[in-house]
Structure 1
């Protein structure tokens, strides 16, 4: 398979929703962990976490990693809020350009995502009833994604769009509609598709020609069902251990990988085992656990990568 495997800060509890005051894994400790477990790339994480400019390039080089992509969340369905957020996109693209100055073998993909709404975030997989996506809102979203994609391409990168539980593009029907009205490639996120009631194999079959980025995770379906049945939102999903190391959940990894191999997928395969650590975590033990999980995850992909 002509693809490159990367890790992600979110697998170490480092992302935008990391609790305030929680001790986090340092970027150097994370780089060392990913290098030791056989990864060749890393996702960006929160803007600035890996550094900028020379610091970013030096860190990537030190751990023999390339930048795979990075989360750029924008309020696509609100014209005024979207316009106000464009400086954030420009800032993110400067960091991607910083990394690209090192002439990597594979360019990173700016990973566009919708901001969703508070109602949808509180009801993952139930967005159609919690906060319906009206036709007018869908048209605004699609139009603004096109504008963001043009900005990304003008900066020399190819965008990808991440469907995500708790946003306005989460269910298979919403993904179908999004793809029908845009020209942006899709980040297939196995875990978020399951959260939204989708089937990963059907997703690969339906959208394989548009998938230009892959986020892989295993899912404990029983735990997800329990969290959602109790009325939990995305914070409870992330903190509740819904995403587990490969082989410990219910995702048939071969059913995702084999069709992608057959389709000639050529891109980044980003392993994301989303975890949300608490403020009282013992960071050294937490890092050892995360490193062990990422070794399991990397080994599980050896038949293909």
Structure 2
């Protein structure tokens, strides 16, 4: 695929998320229409219920807008023996769904048994070994369905902090989803990680970040909603992450996977046509195209179709 075809969108960039009472949840038809008008060719699935409940329906809905499915996000408990089968069964169900719907990637978050996406848990050696073995099992499942499995270091999971990320990279061969925002929250420099672990990066979520707000979130001085209200995440090129340098490093290392634009936002009310999240997504898309040589900038008339 060309660079342009490898840049995808995510519903959270339009404020669509599984967290209850998050804000205005834009209907799929408008979101997908806006994504296609910008020139995006693919989307991650977003929360369950955003797209149709059957794979054929997902394909049909995306086809209406000239889009395809990248895959989706799956949170599972994989470090506790008692929860192993439930977690792997979930991976299998979602892998089968994404594969049939045309996706190629399953993005796994290794969540704690309680307090998912709120707090992290420091694993002991036995729990790390259990996680690593179950990641191998999850990869085998995904391979059967023609999917690539990647582990997403994420706020409120068992792989959030710098120390946890390095332990994962040392102890497992599973591919890495490099999320520039969540790395900052966990105390990492995304550019440094891209330089050190480019060979492990198999999927990328691109956010720019207000580092001060992200660090407050990492210290739990804010919750995730509060951080988004304070604009922790910014259009690419407008925050504190050197996204341009990160793209150079990955491109130079031969990275050929997806770049998913994923600016976590909270939308308070239905925006006017041509207004709201589409404005920031357009700015981020223009930034990536310019850095990677993906094509001309989007004109105002193109994004308001």
Q: 1:86 matched to which residue of 2?
A: 88
Q: 2:47 matched to which residue of 1?
A: 46
| Aligned equivalents of 1:164, 1:287: Cα separation in 2 | 31
For residues 266-302 of structure 1, the C-alpha deviation after alignment (integer angstroms, 9 at most, x for no partner) is 011001001234xxx3223498210111111111111
State which of 105, 108, 111 in structure 1 corresponds to 2:104: 108
Residue 210, structure 1, aligned to residue 200, structure 2: yes
In the TM superposition, structure 1's runs of 4+ consecutive aligned residues that sit over 6 Å from their partners are none
| Aligned equivalents of 1:32, 1:80: Cα separation in 2 | 43
User: Deviation of residue 77 (structure 1)?
Assistant: 1.4
For residues 22-51 of structure 1, the C-alpha deviation after alignment (integer angstroms, 9 at most, x for no partner) is 541111111111111121110011134222
Structure 1, unmatched stretches of 5+, are 101-106
User: Deviation of residue 122 (structure 1)?
Assistant: 3.6
Q: 2:221 matched to which residue of 1?
A: 231
Q: 1:104 matched to which residue of 2?
A: none
Structure 2, unmatched stretches of 5+, are 295-305
What is the SS of the residue equivalent to 1:178?
Answer: helix
Q: 2:177 matched to which residue of 1?
A: 187
C-alpha spacing 1:287/1:239, structure 2 compared with 1 (3 Å): farther
For residues 220-239 of structure 1, the C-alpha deviation after alignment (integer angstroms, 9 at most, x for no partner) is 11222444567223343344
Check the 8 A contact 1:12/1:287 in 2, yes or no. no
1:56-205 maps to which residues of 2 (within 5 A)?
56-100=58-102, 107-116=103-112, 118=114, 121-123=117-119, 127=120, 131-205=121-195
User: Deviation of residue 56 (structure 1)?
Assistant: 1.1
C-alpha spacing 1:133/1:229, structure 2 compared with 1 (3 Å): closer
Report the number of matched residues: 289
Check the 8 A contact 1:9/1:44 in 2, yes or no. yes
Check the 8 A contact 1:73/1:113 in 2, yes or no. yes
Check the 8 A contact 1:2/1:264 in 2, yes or no. no
Which TM-score applies when normalising by structure 1? Answer: 0.87
Please give the root-mean-square deviation of Cα atoms over the aligned residues, in Å: 2.2
